[in-house]
Amino acid sequence: MRQFFVTGTGTDIGKTHVAAAMLRHWRGRGVKAWALKPVASGYQPARSAASDAGVLLAAMGQMTSDAVVGRICPWRFADPVSPDMAARRAGRVVPFDEVVEFCRREMAAADVPLLIEGVGGAMVPLDERRTVRDWMVALGLPAIVVCGGYLGAISHTLCTIEALRVAGVVVAKVVVNGVGDLPVPVAATREALLRHGAGDVVVFGSAEWEAWLVSL
């Protein structure tokens, strides 16, 4: 099954960037993959093309407009904060059961590869009780965990993986997306993660990454 939940160690870590690369890979091979970004905070309708959903739609070769974005991103909130807070500020809530139901419907209908991007890191609150991790547990999809190469990334990544595993979420792949000024080469971050039991770890854009994509 080529369905994955794309999460990460935090916000701005490259979940959308990695998911878009996967979509472009499939599209380049004539495979019409699909992606969802069901819940987004920091969404500006006037800048829909620059939103996560807009970037994913572009990678799928789809037109972007606020209306089209709504198809893959039904719950959009303006404030660029944790989705529970962004929803509250808008006088709304993130309707957890509806979000899960929306994803399940899309999963059941998909006869092409499907990616579901979370929001922020794996333990980001969706409402007063539930986090992204609860959403992942409800869907039961294998996870792609995107992490960085910054100083602190190793611990953040191991903590994220631990939090997922203890809840029964299968981590299919950890993707080290080391951008910017790095304290050590990304390969060294990967080696450290491997040594400490992170599982299957690849550096984004590496030969192993490409080989994995081809194997999917």
Ligand X SMILES: Nc1ncnc2c1ncn2[C@@H]1O[C@H](COP(=O)(O)OP(=O)(O)OP(=O)(O)O)[C@@H](O)[C@H]1O
Catalytic residue positions, numbered: 37
Question: Residues 50-69: x/- map of binding to ligand X (CB under 6 A)?
Answer: --x-----------------
The answer to whether 16 is a known ligand-binding residue is yes
Element (H, E) at 165: helix 153-166
Say which residues have a Cβ less than 8 Å from residue 98's Cβ, sequence separation at least 6: none
8-state DSSP, 141: P
> Which listed range, 8-16, 82-90, 135-143, 192-200, lies at the site for ligand X (CB under 6 A)?
8-16
How far apart (Å, rounded) are the C-alpha atoms in residues 107 and 130?
21
Instruction: Give the x-and-dash track for 100-129 against ligand X (CB under 6 A).
Output: --------------------x---------
Amino acid at 1: M
Do the beta carbons of residue 114 and residue 72 sit within 8 Å? no
In the list 15, 25, 76, 130, the residue contacting Mg ion (rule: CB under 5 A) is 15
Judged by the rule CB under 6 A, the positions of this chain that interact with ligand DNN are 11, 40-42, 80, 82, 119-121, 124
Distance from C-alpha of 173 to C-alpha of 112, rounded to nearest angstrom: 19
| Residue 13 interaction partner, one of ligand DNN, ligand X, Mg ion, none, beta carbon < 5-8 Å per kind | ligand X
24 interacts with ligand X by CB under 6 A? no
Tell me the C-alpha distance between 5 and 169, whole Å: 10
Q: Is there a binding annotation on residue 13?
A: yes
- The annotation places the binding site at 12-17, 41, 52, 117-120
